[in-house]
Amino acid sequence: MLISYLIVFAGSEAMFADLGHFSYTAIQIAFTFLVYPALILAYMGQAAYLSIHHDNSYQISFYVSVPETVRWPVLIIAILASVVGSQAIISGTFSIINQSQSLGCFPRVKVVHTSDKIHGQIYIPEINWILMILCIAVTIGFRDTKHMGNASGLAVMAVMLVTTCLTSLVIILCWHKPPIVALSFLLFFGSIELLYFSASLTKFREGAWLPILLALFLMTIMYVWHYATIKKYEFDLHNKVSLEWLLALGPSLGIARVPGIGLVFTDLTSGIPANFSRFVTNLPAFHQVLVFVCVKSVPVPYVPPAERYLVGRVGPAAHRSYRCIVRYGYRDVHQDVDSFESELVGRLADFIRYDWVRTHGTDPCIEDDGSGSGGSSSECRLTVIGNVAFSGTPAYEIEESLQPASVSIGFPTVESVTDVIEMEPISVTKRRVRFAIDDESETDTRSETDVQLQEELEELWAAQQSGTAFILGHSHVRAKQGSSLVKRLAINVGYNFLRRNCRGPDVALKVPPVSLLEVGMVYIV
């Protein structure tokens, strides 16, 4: 009977895993009027059969209790039910891996979203292959349904017990209920599940050891990846370069500005990444137009092109340095290098025009620090480029096939780059930027601000014509001297092995090798 109850729990868990494929109402109706009555009738029938055939010498099993006239149809239904249940468990595994990857607790894998409307419908090819190999290995290794049943029972009861413990925390932290409510919930449900869990532990040597071994293996991978990722990010934060250092780079230090656009990809949303300082130190030159690009994923299907780019200046306008945060939804297809470069340049041109109109020619990055002299220690606020209305005649033309209604209207700037604007999928806008240089006859009538604006746009256009370089960091993480043996194994062996065998940032960003510059850097954590 214990195995029967465990199967009921597993079936209920599989149904809730299907929430990514069906609505709440559909599952409630199916469970209330079909699944629950069928389970009650089935277990009442088995109980009646056991009350009559309770002799230990007689073999008792599920199919023995089924009448011979319907045994084959029941077998077919059981096979189909196992297929549906396994599909639900696989979908749940995909969802957990995807959430762990979003939290930085799992190596990067390819996630394919199979639905335009429902976030939960995903497919991960690597995990699917691993599950197939594990299933074949367990079947060949055990070759006994009893051992597989013991392993499944312990796994299900462990999941139920952990879920109860976490739900008690949710009651206090998220629902803000009194601790006595959470304690009552934990004692009532936890005591029942603990009894079943302890009963499953008696079969530890008969197959129940497998889920514990797999759980320890996955926890080790997730802990090593998360620990090393956090240490690496802290290293970036502590070693990022100040804005003053970037502004001080010039011909007096032997630094040259070469033609072209340099796109420096980084995870930091503020400050200058350490890999760029390493790049300038080893090669004392950087591009005429410098853009620090940070690619972020947001939990919505599509990000409208008009709301995809957040752009701001890094330093004064004369430095020609910008920061751009590019936001993609989980159903957005990352553009190829040509379309991405053209669209990015167009958004930079939009921002330049908007910034000069907004500031009327003043430098927005110079802030008064109270000492009476201007300072340049802070960066400009990032602006959502795409819905900005310009006054006057622009120095470029924008052709659009469709103007979408934006939900970001009224929020053209954000004080913090961590603010996420929730967006609904709307019509995609195709934009093409074409620079239009004014005639010499009109040059005399323009103000000094217009001249500076025109010069910045011309430099941007010239840099685009010279070519674009994609600068990415190629990191290698090592444990610092004096670290424990466990830490050295985790960082030097475990994390570096996972990093070499997961999807690289150049593959995820679709950077062509001909335009790629990788800056090697060793992280000592």
Domain positions in the chain: 2-228, 241-365+378-418+425-466
Position of tokens 């109270």?
370
Query: Of 309, 287, 314, which Cα lies nearest the Cα of 298?
Result: 309
User: For the ranges 156-170, 259-273, 338-352, 355-369, which has the lowest average pLDDT?
Assistant: 355-369
pLDDT at 435 over 60: no
Mean pLDDT of 354-377: 52
More confident site: 333 or 281: 281
pLDDT at 509: 66
295: three-class secondary structure by DSSP: strand
The one-letter amino acid at 432: R
- pLDDT over 70 (residue 3): no
What pTM was estimated for this model as a whole? 0.68
Q: Is the pLDDT of residue 458 over 90?
A: no
Find the range with the poorest average confidence among 112-126, 135-149, 168-182.
112-126
Confidence at residue 336, expressed as pLDDT on a 0 to 100 scale: 66
- Angle 196-201-202 from CA coordinates, rounded to 5°: 105
Q: Tell me what the mean pLDDT of segment 265-278 comes to.
A: 81
CB under 8 A, 24+ apart: contacts of 103-106: 103/226, 104/225, 104/226, 104/229, 104/230, 105/222, 105/225, 105/226, 106/221, 106/222, 106/225
Per-residue pLDDT at 187 exceeds 90 = yes
Q: Identify which has the larger pLDDT, 338 or 89.
A: 89
Which residue shows structure tokens 């995870």?
A: 267
Q: What is the DSSP string of 98-126?
A: HHHHHTT-S-----EE--SS-TT-EE-HH
Q: What percent of the chain has pLDDT over 70?
A: 73
Instruction: List all residues 6 or more positions away from 415 whose beta carbon is below 8 Å from its beta carbon.
Output: 381
Structure confidence at residue 77 (pLDDT): 84
Confidence at 252, pLDDT banded by 50, 70, 90: low
- Residue 498 pLDDT exceeds 50: yes
- pLDDT band for position 508 (50/70/90)? low
Given a contact cutoff of 8 angstroms between Cβ atoms, the answer to whether 445 and 458 are in contact is: no
Q: Is the pLDDT of residue 142 over 80?
A: yes
Tell me the pairing of strands 309-313 and 321-328: antiparallel
Across the chain, how many H-helices and E-strands are there?
16, 14
Mean pLDDT is highest, among 24-28, 151-155, 268-272, 398-402, for 151-155
- Give the confidence band of 422 by pLDDT, cuts at 50, 70, 90: very low
Query: Is residue 123 a contact partner of residue 94, using CB atoms and an 8 Å limit?
Result: yes
DSSP one-letter string for 445-511: TS-HHHHHHHHHHHHHHHHHHH-EEEEEEEEEEEPPTT--HHHHIIIIIIIHHHHHTS--HHHHTT-
pLDDT tops 90 at residue 447: no
Q: Quick one: tokens of 190?
A: 């936890």
**pLDDT at residue 188 above 90?**
yes
Closest CA to 156 of 89, 218, 221, 206: 89
Q: Cα 129 to chain center, whole Å?
A: 21
Mean pLDDT within 452-480? 84
If phi > 0 it is left, if psi is from -120 to 50 it is alpha, else beta; for residue 298 that is: beta
Average pLDDT of the residues in 24-47:
81
In terms of C-beta density within 10 A (0-12 exposed, 13-18 middle, 19 or more buried), how is residue 113 classed?
A: middle
Helix (H) or strand (E) holding 132: helix 125-142
- Mean per-residue pLDDT of the chain: 75
Contact 272, 242 (CB under 8 A): yes
Q: Tell me whether residue 107 is exposed, middle or buried, using C-beta atoms within 10 angstroms of its C-beta: 0 to 12, 13 to 18, 19 or more.
A: buried
Q: Is the pLDDT of residue 342 over 70?
A: yes
Higher per-residue confidence, 196 vs 391: 196
| Least confident residue range of 68-77, 132-141, 201-210, 371-380 | 371-380
Q: Which residue do the tokens 């947001």 mark?
A: 298
Residue-level pLDDT at 257:
83
Q: Give the pLDDT of residue 21.
A: 59
In whole angstroms, how far apart are CA 395 and each of 318, 439, 443, 457? Answer: 18, 11, 12, 8
More confidently predicted of 12 and 69: 69
Residue 326's SS3 state is strand
β-strands 256-265, 382-385 pairing: unpaired
Confidence of residue 426 (pLDDT cuts 50, 70, 90): very low
Distances from the Cα of 432 to the Cαs of 23, 341, 378, 400, 461, in angstroms? 41, 12, 32, 7, 14
First vs last Cα of the chain: how many Å apart?
52
| pLDDT of 481 above 50 | yes
- ∠346-350-355 over CA atoms, to 5°? 145
pLDDT of residue 112: 82
What's the whole-number mean pLDDT along residues 421-437? 40
Q: What are 414's strand-pairing partners?
A: 382
Asked if the model's pLDDT at residue 366 lies above 50, the reply is: no
**Pairwise pLDDT comparison (444 vs 186), residue with the higher score:** 186
Cβ atoms of 310 and 284 within 8 Å: the answer is no
Tokens of 260: 């072209």
On the question of pLDDT at 191 being above 80, the answer is yes
Q: What is the pLDDT of residues 106-126, one digit of tens each?
A: 888 888 877 766 666 788 899
CB of 404 closer than 8 Å to CB of 303: no
Least confident range of 117-121, 346-350, 370-374: 370-374
- How far is residue 477's CA from residue 503's CA, in Å, rounded to a whole number? 17
- Is residue 483 classed exposed, middle or buried when 0-12, 13-18 and 19+ CB atoms within 10 A define those classes? middle
Cα angle 344-345-350, degrees, rounded to a multiple of 5: 95
What tokens were used for 348?
């930079």
Q: Tokens at residue 61, please?
A: 């099993």
Q: What is the CA radius of gyration of the chain?
A: 30
| 395 pLDDT more than 90 | no
